[in-house]
Structure 1
Amino acid sequence: MALKDTFYISHGSPTLSIDESLVARKFLQSWKKEVFPPRPTSILVISGHWDTAVPTVNVVDSTNDTIYDFYGFPKPMYQLKYPAPGAPHLAKRVKELLKEGGFSRVDEDKKRGLDHGAWVPLLLMYPEADIPVCQLSVQSNLDGTHHYNIGKALAPLKDEGVLIVGSGSAVHNLRALERHATVAAPWAVEFDNWLKEALLEGRYEDVNHYEQKAPHAKKAHPWPDHFYPLHVAIGAAGENSKAKLIHSSIDLGSLSYASYQFTSDVI
């Protein structure tokens, strides 16, 4: 089964795993019924929580470990498990395609499981944890175009039924969060709206160069790790793909859960 869609999911805070008040949680729980009914053969997650010098895939032959890469949160969160099967064959294909796409060095990690940028949204999207999952890292020392080109190289995976999901946050500045905020910060809204307009209008090159094009770019993303998964999703969909905003909400004053679907014009 070939797929024509890729996705960028804003996973926001790890509390998404347990906080019933977050509307983004309800959105992800509706995934299989309302957002994306087709069942993929496997899932490739590009997570903002795995940052390496070169593209790296996790190669897990059995079950992915659940990584609790967060601190000081409620105890029940550390008891959650997402024992999805590993996807070693997908990891091999990712390496092959990236090398064919001109990426001379692609590493693998045989010990790493799924960080919360992967397992928290997947826990809500596919709670049965029965679809093989592979993770791919980002390179925050590089740029949006680098990650867009990674996506372009991985586009053939869609023809093999692989669901490509970039997982980050559309606005991600942890130092700017306000626990008791009742309204969204104007600068976060401006960046969020700029991103929405750029994507819906197909201005992907502007998004690749968001540092120069977007308002409040450095404040919205002091570090680009949570933004680059978006570029991979866009690249994998293709330059003529159509973007659709599938969820929008802001929590803690500036943490955006905006999520997008990219549909290729050919399949």
Structure 2
Amino acid sequence: MALKDTFYISHGSPTLSIDESIQARKFLQSWKKDVFPQRPSSILVISGHWETAVPTVNVVDSINDTIYDFYGFPKQMYQLKYPAPGAPQLARRVKELLKKSGFSHVDEDTKRGLDHGAWVPLFLMYPEADIPVCQISIQSQQDGTYHYNLGKALAPLKDEGVLIMGSGSAVHNLRALEPHSTVAPWALEFDNWLKDALLEGRYEVVNHYEQKAPHAKKAHPWPDHFYPLHVAIGAAGEDAKAKLIHSSIELGSLSYASYQFTSAAS
């Protein structure tokens, strides 16, 4: 079954896994009912929490380990498990497509499981953990256009029933978080700029957000949580239509804005 959509999910804080007060939690729990009722054959996650020098896929033949790559959070979060099967065939297909598109160096990691950028949203979206999952890394030393082109190389996976999901945060500056604060004007301005650019299909502008967006460096001091968006856009296609499927801001500036990209060619 071919799919025509790709997604960018803002996963925000790891507490999304347990905190019922976070608005985005209910959005993700309603995923199969209200957002995407189709069942994918497998899931490819591009997470802001896996950075490598070259594109790397995790090749897991059995069950993905649950990685607790966060510190100082409630004990119960370290007891959660997301035992999704690995997707070794998908991982090798990803390598094949990237090399075919000119990404000459593509590595694989046979030990890495799922970081919280992958398993926390999937824990809410697909709680049964019965769909094979593969992750691919980002390269923070590269730029938005590089990740857009990486996504373009992966586009054929949609025809194979693979759900391509970027996972990051639309605004992500951990040093600027303010509990019990109103929304910071700079964060709202960047969030709204991004929404307008995406809904108007100005993807080239988003690829060059550092020069085009207001407060770009404050919204993303490091690009790790933004580049998964570029992959999702590239995989959808330049004529894809964007839809805002969730919008909320927690802790003053942490945006959970999430987007669906539907290919016009499908």
What is the 5 A alignment of 1:1-267?
1-181=1-181, 183-267=182-266
Unaligned runs of 5+ in 1: none
Q: Residue type matched to 2:240 in 1?
A: S
SS in 2 for 1:96: helix
How far is 1:180 from its partner? 2.0
Q: Residue 259 of structure 2: SS of its match in structure 1?
A: strand
Structure 1 position 153, deviation (Å): 0.2
Gaps of 5+ in 2: none
Whole-angstrom CA distance in 2 between matches of 1:266 and 1:152: 14
| SS of corresponding position for 2:191 | helix
Q: Distance in 1 between matches of 2:23 and 2:223?
A: 25
Q: Secondary structure at the match of 1:137?
A: strand
Q: Work out the CA distance in 1 between the residues paired with 2:33 and 2:258.
A: 17
Deviation string 1:180-202 (CA, Å, 9 cap, x unpaired) is 21x10000000000000000000
Q: Distance in 2 between matches of 1:239 and 1:184?
A: 32
Q: Residue deviations 1:105-152, cap 9 Å, x none?
A: 000000000000000000000000000000000000000000000000
Give the alignment's TM-score, normalised by structure 1: 0.99
Matched residue type, 2:245: I
Distance apart, 1:266 and its partner CA: 1.7
Give the share of equivalent positions with the same residue, in percent.
87
* Residue 254 of structure 1, CA deviation: 0.1
User: How many residues were matched structurally?
Assistant: 266
Q: Secondary structure at the match of 2:131?
A: coil
Cα distance in 1 for residues equivalent to 2:265 and 2:186: 37
CA distance in structure 2 between the aligned counterparts of 1:35 and 1:185, rounded to whole angstroms: 29
User: 1: CA distance between counterparts of 2:72 and 2:108?
Assistant: 30
Q: Which runs of 4+ in 1 moved over 3 A?
A: none
Following superposition, the deviation at residue 179 of structure 1 comes to 1.4
Output the CA distance in 2 between the equivalents of 1:219 and 1:52: 23
Counterparts of 1:88 and 1:99 in 2: how far apart (Å)?
17
Structure 1 SS opposite 2:122:
helix
Give the structure-2-normalised TM-score. Answer: 1.00
Distance 1:195 1:179 in 2: 24
CA deviation after TM superposition for structure 1 residue 94, in Å? 0.2
Separation (CA, whole Å) in 2 of partners of 1:122 and 1:107: 24
Task: Supply the distance in 2 between the matched residues of 1:241 and 1:14 (Cα, whole angstroms).
Answer: 30
> 2-side partners of 1:223 and 1:61: how far apart?
32
SS at match of 2:68: coil
